[in-house]
Amino acid sequence: MSEMLLLRHRQFPEIGTLDGYLKLSGFKPFKKVVSENNPVAVIDEVKESGLRGRGGAGFPTGVKWSFLPGDITPHYVVANADESEPGTFKDREIMESNPYQFLEGLMIACFAVKATLGYVYLRGEFWQIAEHLEQCMAELRKQGYLGKKLFNTSYELDLHTHLGAGAYICGEESALLESLEGRLGQPRLRPPYPAVFGLFGKPTVINNVETLTNVPLIIEKGAGWYQNYGTPKSTGVKIFSLSGNVNKPGNYELPLGTTFRELIYTHGGGLKPGRKVKAILPGGASSIVIKSSDKALDTPMDYESVAGLGSALGSASVIVVDDSVNMLWVSKKIINFFRHESCGKCTPCREGTYWMDQILNRTKTSKISAKDTALLKDVALQMRGKCLCPLGEFSTMAVVSSIEQFPEDFRS
Amino acid sequence: MPKQISLTIDNIAVSAPENTLIIDAAKRAGIDIPVFCYHPSLKPVGMCRVCLVEVGRPIIDRATGAVVTEADDSPKIQFGPKLETACTTPVSDGMVVLVNSEKSKAARNEILEFLLTSHPLDCPVCDKGGECPLQNLTLAYGPGKSRFRFNEKQQLAKNVPLGELIFLDRERCIQCGRCVRYQTEIVDDPVIGFYQRGRSMQIITRSDPGFDSYFSGNTTDICPVGALTSTDFRFGARPWELKSAASLCTHCPVGCNLTIDVRREAKSGGDIAIKRIMPRQNEAVNDIWICDKGRFAHHFADKSNRITKSSIRKRNQLTPASLETVLDLVASKLRSRNRKLVTLVGGRLANEDLYNLKQLTEKLHGSGFLYNDMAGGELTCQMGLTQGTSLSDLKQGSVILVIASDLHEEAPIYWLRVKQAVERGATLIVINPRETRLDKYAAYKITYRYGDEIATINQLMPGKSEPHYPAAKVIQKAQGLIVFVGNEGLGQKSSRAVMESAAQLLINGGFTGKVGSGLVAVWKNANTQGAWEMGFELAGDLQKMIRAADVLLIAGADPVGDRPELQEAMQSARFSVVLELAPTATTNLAHVVIPVQAFSEREGTYTSAERRVQIFYPAIGVKDDVLPDYKIAALLAERLGISLPGESARQVFEHMSGHITGFKGLSYQALCEMPDQWPVAGGKNKYFGGTASANHQGVGVQLVLNPHSSRIQSTGGKVKGQTAYDEKKLWAVPVTRLYDQGNTLLHTKLLEKRMVACEMRIHPDTAALYGVQTGPVLLSFGKAAQQGNCVLDETTPLGFVLVHRSSGIPINEVTAVTLSGVNKSNQSIGNRNK
């Protein structure tokens, strides 16, 4: 096993305690940046590293940090620990087992954007993790890593956790902010973007847990070192949450650019005997389904190559579907999920997901009439381009691409 | 002056100020873009998506910054991959908006199809059917057929009470959130909200009582479907059966513009009856909102509650008699020489009534008095709002001073206008002895002890020296100063001094005659200001006044109801004539009672507290020999050989404008002139949604300042008139509440649960001092006593007990009282008139 950058607890179980983490050079990067007091340099280093958002959109992290206007204060940093995409379970492992590295990343991000308050927004089901993180934060306060006048500088910082009520939509950053402010979790109109008008109307950076967990090592070892991992445009490592019809589902930390075949067969233990990969959902339920082929399996999993297949890497929650599974059944599951999770704010998503769910629920068998298939596709396409936030569009991806690529599964 | 942006919408060149939304720019250009969630009074949210349009912008060469052009030199336009919501996208230079392109039309059609999948399509039994934006827009833009299976529709509760005033039909709701946003953004009563998510999302109320807001009815107007309906109107009529008349609200002095919808029906004995009351747009007065009292409390005018026949007292019994007979009798009483006529009028009468009654009284050398608890009208006549002042224009630089008034209770729409002015940047100073809902918006709140009003106002008096108090500095620097004076804890005596010192503030600050300045008295009635304009003076000692009269003529007032101590005087009056709508404690003791027409049955004008004269029109015809007050006065005059106009209200108004200084040059024509108003209400696409608030019958005219005979002079600042309430005594203070038990509210069963009880509000410490606790208590004052319920309230000033006006406790001035506990076995809580 090569050296892990994010799932380091698998090699160093003691990293879960503050002492253990400190022994592994923990909080040296944070202490360094605070003492050197050059936030711009931190942002530049992260920009240089090529680190991109691991939540799904893949936006360059350093660039995101540099958007915050200096003349509006205070600034906030929010760690998005909503992790609600079906098939994604990477942030949970980080927060449970390697919490301090994540928190240090969050703290460095806070310093880089001159925020003195950071939040970890967790989905409601993660209440135990929230308690755990609160204990970690208390420990950090006790040992002088959080609080006023850190390392005898004028910088002060504190962190809080905030639990949502368990909603997919709250992983969307503007809905997350609404929820964090205590309101109904519904997305905001954009513009203005959170970088200008975010939490409590102030400039805010929102980063995924995994993204932040990369940051301490980038600061410690430098952008150049980080670029050694991954591909030139998709640098670094990624945790692939592998699930579905594979023998060894789980989180696999691999360099970006690893092929689907390597993930599924080398690391994931392949499929059950006699089964073949039929389809891949590379980014959870909101993926455009990839029809399996040798070309697809040999495609490197980086942002550009997966886009080349007409899909998107997203949060890299790779769901493998084998040839025993009917795609109509998969569509049913996915639409049911989106119907349940639609926030209801905009008409097309609220009514469209409900309608698609109704159509798919008409049959308890694996059959659907040609008329219903046509209507289902129509409804999905009718939603596209009209929704208030990306979630509405996401809900149509799997169903439309399944109908298009697996017409044989949508038969009467 | 904001920058003007040029764009084209459907090939029409449009110019709009910077930051204008596409939807508004289109509306101004006469192009309708359908909306559900958007409302010009609310912040845009872009939720319903029905206003999606194609938007293109000129391509700018990044290197040169120049606009890329086509071969023919026209700018090259790039359309985005997605449609944009016209309600959230601001206009930009060179923008090309396509409202009626195939793509935009298809999107509208598709959004409507989505909305209808969950809609019950119960239009045939829906109150909104016929005036429903969803229905209208579906007809105009929607699909003719649904691809959604009817039996797969969600079935939801259809009669969800959000309190006893408003019902929710969950199936019809399209989750546009207008109601929720209205309650939060406009009236700051966030008592309703969304619950659950997705298709299960629904409107709920968390307040007790449900939907606890004085403005709840407005949500039924702006609801773009039949989801929110009022208990008063639901299932009452179809919109196309209704006839509308423009009217005015009579419940408070704001003068909200109304539309009254009526229908003839069997239930009303074949008569035409009021089915609903809605706001009519007047941006200067009430915007498009009214309070629930104005909307629901119209039942005092119902036939069943009214006096329909004139009557004469015979053997101590009121006996019906023809109007002719009655008028002959009254005329005969007036005819003999040296008979002293005393006329007592209330602020419920129209200007025309007041004018004729005043003329009649003067010609007979009698004296005319106004029945009112608050003095100082001669000051508002000369110091009122300067012509051109609109509460909707107040912004940064304007200072609003509210003295001794709980505007939210006394005149809710004034409260709303003041709140909105503060949101636009105006500075609010509140001077009140206790907490009120306005305090939240005040930059300065000055609390005083009842009785210390004058000393408190004097501290703010602009003078030559640099003022000491921050609030005084703000007044000194103000561009305009509007002073609202209420009747909180005052009475006839003390209110005069308060009004005087408010007037001195304006004079000494140099605000006299300045636009954006003036004195507004929050009177009790709709036309109290009109009575002052006609020259009526305040009745001083009512006992003495009644006893001095040979003939006592009371119109539009119920002095005995408010003051039971007048009973004896009234009983021994030599001859009393009462003109009234419904039986009251006063009519019960009259020698002659003459019924009159209600505001809904006739024409006339009212003068609001801000001195705006506005017309109201008849909504219901009257058959019987029930006449308007002005006509009765004219008929009486005729019998006495005096000529008074009486043909029509308009004729009276013409005379009035020749005789009354403030009304010079005014005419009904001027009052019904209709300037353009923005936002545009009504229209083809029912921009405001739901019931249109369109106004075609005029916005009224503000009176010019009227230099009264007793012109006020600057006293150089200070006014005297301190009232000291002995700290050793317990004092009862009358305060006004919106839902009282007054004559105009009593018959509105709908509001019964919200009406104030006969209660005594007292601070727990004061209660402890007097040994009383929550529960029944006896309040004794002078020779009278009243039982009521004691309520402990920590916001009540120490040493005072608050009693609500018109709640059955006949206290009209700050009065020394004693409180004692009552044995629970023999409690009987008194209600007035019962």
Cis peptide before A74 (omega within 30 of 0): yes
Q: What is the pLDDT of residue B782?
A: 87
User: What's the pLDDT score for residue B808?
Assistant: 87
pLDDT at A103 over 90: yes
pTM, to two decimals: 0.94
Place of tokens 């006896």: B778
Give span(s): CATH 3.10.20.600, chain A. Answer: 237-322
Non-local CB neighbours of A106 within 8 Å, separated by 6+ positions: A77, A79, A118, A120, A159, A207, A212
Helix axes A370-383, A390-405, angle to 10 degrees: 150
Q: What is the pLDDT of residue B268?
A: 82
Say whether A242 sits in a helix, a strand or coil.
strand
Spatial distance between the Cα atoms of A113 and A96, rounded to a whole number of angstroms: 26
pLDDT of residue B821: 86
* pLDDT value of position B691: 60
Task: Give how far B49 is from chain A: nearest CA, Å.
Answer: 7
A346 to chain B nearest CA, in Å? Answer: 4
Closest among B253, B715, B721 to B506, alpha carbons compared: B715
Full set of structural domains in chain B with CATH: 4-100 (3.10.20.740), 114-230 (3.30.70.20), 305-376+531-670 (3.40.50.740), 377-522 (3.40.228.10), 730-826 (2.40.40.20)
Q: Pick the residue with more confidence: B539 or A267?
A: A267
Question: Which residues of B fall within a CB distance of 8 Å from A181?
Answer: none
Averaged pLDDT, groups of 10, chain B, 834 residues long: 92 95 92 91 95 96 90 92 96 96 96 95 93 91 90 93 96 96 97 95 94 96 94 93 95 96 88 93 94 95 91 95 96 88 97 98 96 94 94 95 97 98 97 96 96 92 81 94 94 89 94 95 97 93 94 97 93 96 96 97 97 96 88 97 96 96 93 88 59 84 79 70 85 94 89 92 94 92 90 95 91 91 57 40
| Residues of chain A in Cβ contact (below 8 Å) with chain B | 167, 169, 184-185, 189, 339-348, 350-355, 358, 375, 378, 382-383, 385-388
Pick the CATH number of A327-409 from 1.20.1440.230, 3.40.30.10, 1.10.760.10, 2.60.40.10: 1.20.1440.230
Strand B537-538, strand B367-370: pairing:
parallel
pLDDT the model gives residue B684: 60
Taking CA atoms, B147 is separated from A350, A393, B107, in Å, by: 17, 21, 16
Whole-number average pLDDT of chain A: 95
Give the end-to-end CA distance of chain A in Å, rounded to a whole number.
49
Residues of B with CB under 8 A from a CB of A: 44-50, 52, 81-83, 88, 107, 110-111, 113-115, 117-118, 147-149, 152, 154, 174-175, 193-194, 196-201
Lowest mean pLDDT, pick from A308-317, A359-368, B634-643: A359-368
So what's the ipTM on this one?
0.94
Query: Would the pLDDT of A33 be above 70?
Result: yes
From-to residues of CATH 3.40.50.11540 in chain A: 8-227
pLDDT tens sequence across B333-349: 999 877 899 999 999 99
- Residues of B in Cβ contact (< 8 Å) with A360: none
Classify domain A8-227 by CATH architecture: 3-Layer(aba) Sandwich (3.40)
User: For B193, which residue in chain A has the nearest alpha carbon?
Assistant: A184
Closest CA to B78 of B97, B60, B58, B101: B58
Cα–Cα distance for residue pair B37/B185, rounded to 1 Å: 14
> pLDDT over 70 for what percent of chain A?
100
What pLDDT is attached to residue B832? 40
- Are B197 and A169 within 8 A, CB to CB? yes
Residue B117 with chain A: CB contacts under 8 Å:
351, 354-355
Report how far residue B520's alpha carbon sits from residue B381's, in angstroms, rounded to the nearest whole number: 10
Judged by DSSP in three states, B702 sits in strand
Cα B253 to Cα B612: distance, rounded to the nearest angstrom? 10
Contacts of B80 in chain A (CB under 8 A): none
CB atoms within 10 A of CB B428: 23
Stretch(es) of chain A classified as CATH 1.20.1440.230: 327-409
CB contact under 8 A, B199 and A342: yes
* Shortest distance, CA B196 to any CA of chain A (angstroms): 8
How much is the CA Rg of chain A, to the nearest whole Å? 22
CATH (residue range A237-322): 3.10.20.600
Q: Strands (DSSP E) along B543-611, which ranges?
A: 551-555, 576-580, 592-595, 604-607
Residue A321 scores a pLDDT above 90: yes
Say yes or no to pLDDT of A247 above 50. yes
